[in-house]
Amino acid sequence: MKKMKLVLVGNGMAGVRTIEELLKLAPDLYDITVFGAEPHGNYNRILLSPVLAGEMTLPEIMLNDLDWYGDNGITLHAGRKVVKIDRVRRKVLAGDGTEADYDRLLLATGSTPFIPPIPGNDLPGVLGYRDIADTEAMIEAAGKYRHAVVIGAGLLGLEAANGLMLRGMDVTVVHLGEWIMERQLDRAAADMLQASLEAKGMKFLLARQTEALLPARNAQGGMNGRLGAVRFKDGMEIPADLVVVAAGIRPNYELAESAGLYCGSGRVRGIHVSDTLQTVTDPRIYAVGECVAHRGIAYGLVAPLFEQGKVCANHLANFGIGRYEGSVTSTKLKVTGIDVFSAGDFSGGPGTEDIVLHDRQGGVYKRVVLKDDRIVGSVLYGDTADGSWYFQLMKDRQSVAEIRDHLMFGQNKLGDAGHKGENRAASMPDTAEVCGCNGVCKGTIVKAIKEKGLFTLDEVKKHTKAASSCGSCTGLVEQILASTVGGAYQAVSANDKPVCACTEHSHKVVREAIFKHHLTSKEAVFDTLNWRTPNGCDKCRPAVNYYLISSWPHEAKDDPQSRFINERAHANIQKDGTYSVVPRMWGGLTTPAELRAIADAAEKYQVPTVKVTGGQRIDLLGVKKEDLPKIWADLNAAGMVSGHAYGKSIRTVKTCVGAEHCRFGTQLAMDMGVKLEKMLFDMYAPHKVKLAVSGCPRNCAEAGIKDVGVIGVDSGYELYVGGNGGIKTEVAQYLCKVGGDEEVMEYAGAFLQLYREEGWYLERTVHWLDRVGLDYVKAKVVEDGENRRRLHARLLDALKDARDPWQTSREEETVKQFIPIKVEA
C-alpha cells in the first residue's frame, strides 16, 4: 500500500515532538519530509540559557541529531527555508528551489523575536535571543566586549542577562514596566527577585523607554558603525557594546498567510486552528507551536506546544479522538540558585481571595489565589518545591477546602516530611540516592533528562526506573525534573496520564475510542490504538475489558482472563492461599434456610472461620481452591448467589431495621435496601460500589461514608454520594432529596450509570467526583430529568440479563480459569 506524504515545515521542538508522537501511533502511515531553516537537528531551545551561561554545551542540548532522521526514514532538508505553499498542487517550495509534495502538511514555523522599531536597531551588536546562532553571537561578543544591555525583564531577558553576566559582562536590564516579570510575578515577588539579582551584580533601569540605539564613536569622534550606547526618552545614555532585545515574540505566520490560510487580525495573530489542530482554512494542513492561534490564544511556552503535538499526532494517525482545549500554563525561572514559579491568574480579582506567606528576611514568598475553594493562580519565590503540586491542583480543579489551613506549608506537611522545597533537590549532590527501591541517584536522573530530552515524570520513570516502584520519591523526582528543564516541565493532569506503559493513551482517550469506533473486543482496541504490546498487561487488560462491556454490554464479551484472580475465582484470595466465600444476603436479610445452608457448607468443607462482615454478610474464610466449585454449587442449590465480595462491582447495600421495627424509623430501610440491591445485582463498575440505607437521620447504617447513601426523613429520602470508608475516610456529599422508593432507585441508578460510563477503571466514586465536580453530576442527574431517565434506562438494560457469576462460570466450564494467569494483582 502506497504511503501518504507528510511534510513538516519547521524543525523545532513542537513540530518534531508531533512527529515523534505520530511514529508511536502509526509508524508506517507516512513518508515524512522535514524542512528546517537552521542547519541543525532538533534541539532543546529551553536549554539555550544554560549554554549561554557556560553550564552546558550545544551537543548536550540536541534532542534529535541528524542520524535520528535517517534511522526513522525521515528526509531532512536542514538549512532550507520554505518560502511558498502551493495548496492547489499540494506542494511546498524552499528558497533554494527544493520542492516536496504533500498529502498532509504540518506547519510548525515557530515565532520570531519582536524587535521594536527603535532607531539603530539594525546596528551590528543588536541581537534577538531565539536560536543557536543568536546564542553563539552573544558568547562571541562576551569574549570581546564589556557592556551589555538587555531590553526586556521577562523570563527570557533575565536568563539572557544572567548568562552574559556569568560570561564576565557588565549587564544592565532595561524594562518599560514598573517591575520585572510583570506577566509572571506580582510586585512583592518581583521586588524580592530584583534584590537578589542586584546582589549578584545585575543592574536594572525600570519604567524606562528606549529612544535610540547609538553607534560607537572612534578615537577621532566619528561613528565606527557598531553599537556603542543606548539613549532613553529622558535623555539618559548608558554604554552598550551588545544589546539583546527580549521584548517578546511574534508568531511566524507569514508563510501561512501568503498561502491564503486565515491568520486573524488585530491583537491575536497566528495560524488559526481548531481543537484538532487543523487550520480553519484547509483541513489538509495542520499547525502546532508558537505560530498557532487557538481559541484566541498564542502560547509561548513548551508544555502547551507538546500538548498540541500529542493531539495533532492523534489526528494525523487517523484516530480522530483527541481534542486540544487549551492549556493552563506555568512559568519557572532558575537563575543561579534563585527559584521563582508562577501559574494561572495570580493577580486575583473579583470573587477571589489570597493566602500569602511573606518572609522577606528568610527569602520566601508564597501567594495562592483561590476562587470557590479552588486554586486559580499561584506565585512562589525562594521555596518553589510545591509549585508543581499547586499547579496540579489547579489543572485538576480540585477543591482545597479541607487542606486550606495547611496549604501554604506544602504537600510534605500532608504526607512524608521533607526538606525545604526545590532547594532540597538543588542542594543534593549528584551521588545522593533518590530512589531507594531501584538504587537511582540524582546524577543518573539529571543525566537522563538532559541527554534524552525528557520532559515528563513518566518519561523519567521509563528511562531511569526512579519513582516507578513504591512511589515515595515521586515528589523529589518531580523537583529534580522541574529544576532541570525549567519552563518545559509538564505536570500531567489526571485526564492525560497513560493507562499503562503499553500505550501512550489515557483512560479518557481509550474510552472515547471504544465508543467512537464501536470497538467490541480488546484485540480491536489494541489494533486500533497501536498498543505497544500485543496482549497488554495486568494494568490495561482489566481496564479495557471494563470499558468494552460497559460501553457495549450486549455486544462485547466479558473476557475472564482480563479479570483479577479474585474475580476469576469468584472469591477473595487470602494471604495463606485459601479463599474467602461470601454468599449474598439481600439488604443484610437472611432466613433460617440460608443460615442452615451456610452452616452445612462450613461443616462439609471444613471451613475454619465463619465471620459476620461489616457489610452484613457471613464470610466463610479458609476455603481451599479445589473446593470452590463444589461449595458454590451447594450454596447455589440452596438459592444463594455470590455476594461479589471480590469484584469491581456492587458489593453490598447495608441497612438498618428501619420503620419495619425501629420506633425511630421514618422509612422502610430494609425494603428499600433489598430493592436497590436486586436492581444493581451483577453490576460491574470501575471500582467496588457500596450502598447503605438508613431509616432515619440517626443513620445506623452509616450511609454517610458509602458510594451511595440513602437516609430516610419524614417526607422521603435524602441521597448522598461519593463517600468512602477506606484508608482515607471521605464523607459523602449531599446530592438531592426525593419523595419515594421509585425515585430513590431512579436517581441512585442514574448516578451509578454516569459513574460507570465516565469513571476511569479503578477510580472510586469519591475520586471521580473530585475530578468532574458535584455540580456536573447534579446537572446530569438532578437537574436534567430526561437525561436522568435515559441513564437509569441504560443501567437497567445493561443489567437485564444479570446472573450469578459463579453459575455463569460453571456453565461456561471456566473452572480451568483457576490455573494461574497473568492478571494476579
Instruction: Summarize the annotated binding site for [4Fe-4S] cluster as residue ranges.
Output: 656, 662, 696, 700
Cα distances (angstroms) measured from residue 624 to each of 160, 205, 806: 70, 81, 16
**Three-state SS for 472?**
coil
Using CA atoms, how far apart are residues 146 and 239, in angstroms rounded to an integer?
Answer: 9
∠ CA 441-447-449 to the nearest 5 degrees?
Answer: 105
CA distance 486 to 200: 21
CA distance 325 to 295: 8
Return d(Cα 594, Cα 635) in angstroms, integer: 9
Q: Report the DSSP pairing between strands 30-36 and 75-78.
A: parallel
DSSP secondary structure letters along 384-445: -TTHHHHHHHHHTT-B-GGGGGGGGG-GGGTSS---SHHHHHHHS-TTSEEETTTTEEHHHH
Give bridge partners of residue 230 from the DSSP assignment. Answer: 213, 238
DSSP one-letter code for 730: B
User: How far apart (Å, rounded) are the C-alpha atoms in residues 332 and 340?
Assistant: 6
Exposed, middle or buried by CB within 10 Å (0-12, 13-18, 19+), for 393? buried
Q: Which three cell numbers stand for residue 378?
A: 499561584
**SS3 of 424-441:** HHHHCCCCCEEECCCCEE
- Residue 313 DSSP symbol: H
Please give the annotated binding residues for siroheme, written as ranges. Answer: 700
- Stretch (H or E) spanning 651: strand 650-655
Ramachandran class of 583: left when φ > 0, alpha when ψ lies in -120 to 50, beta otherwise: beta
User: Which residue in 358, 360, 388 sits closest to 375, CA to CA?
Assistant: 388
The answer to whether 569 and 810 are in contact (CB under 8 A) is no
Helix count and strand count (H, E) for the chain: 26, 38
Cα 398 to Cα 390, 476, 757, distances in angstroms:
10, 22, 21
Report the distance separating Cα 625 and Cα 573, nearest Å: 9
**Which of 59, 62, 61, 240 has the alpha carbon at shortest distance from 164?**
240
Question: Based on C-alpha coordinates, what's the Rg of the chain?
Answer: 32
- Residues making up the annotated binding site are 656, 662, 696, 700
C-alpha cell at 735: 446530592
Of the candidates 117, 115, 92, 112, the residue with the CA atom closest to the CA atom of residue 102: 92
Long-range contacts, stretch 799-805, CB < 8 angstroms, 24+ apart: 799/679, 799/680, 799/681, 799/682, 799/683, 801/554, 802/681, 802/682, 802/683, 803/682, 804/636, 804/641, 804/642, 804/682, 805/567, 805/570, 805/642, 805/644, 805/647, 805/682
